[in-house]
Amino acid sequence: MIKVTITWSKETSRLSNIALSTLDYLDQKGFYAIYASVYNKETKKVTHKKLLYIGQSFEQKIRDRLKQPHGADDCMKKEKKNEPNSDLWFRTGIITKKDQERETQQLFNDIECCMIYTSKPKCNTLCMESYEEKKIEITHVNAHARAHADDAPCRSDVT
């Protein structure tokens, strides 16, 4: 089983502010999670209402990937409308520990698929019903995780 650790940004940022965002890891390759979230002006806190999409960026910076049009855009806009007063917010994550030497596109694909399979974001389509990639265990830093069966093909959770 491959073991990796992904460290997520402690803060979230509005997707519409991507160009100006100073969120950790935006200018590296890595992973991102997009949420329908509500910002409370009084408490200055963001409440994530629904995880909409998990993606990855291997050959470009996360910031550049998030600026590009995406097949899930229509789904995310629709889900945002279904959550009163919400907007699209995101977090970024990078691999900070791994038990294999090289980071490859296949490793990123396996990690992304595992996170999608275990989290079931509303707007992802691939990897939602099954996970048939390499066995992988993902430890998340700065994200909530829940336990998985010992015989699960992958263990991960992004909430």
Instruction: Give the span between the Cα atoms of 34 and 15, in whole angstroms.
Output: 8
20 phi/psi in degrees, rounded to 5: -100, -5
- The whole-angstrom separation of Cα 122 and Cα 29 is 23
Whole-model pTM: value is 0.89
Q: What is the pLDDT of residue 27?
A: 94
DSSP 9: P
Paired with 89 in beta bridges are 14, 35
Q: At which residue do the structure tokens 């992304």 appear?
A: 112
Report d(CA 101, CA 104) in Å as an integer.
10
Q: Which residue ranges in the chain fall short of pLDDT 70?
A: 144-153, 157-159
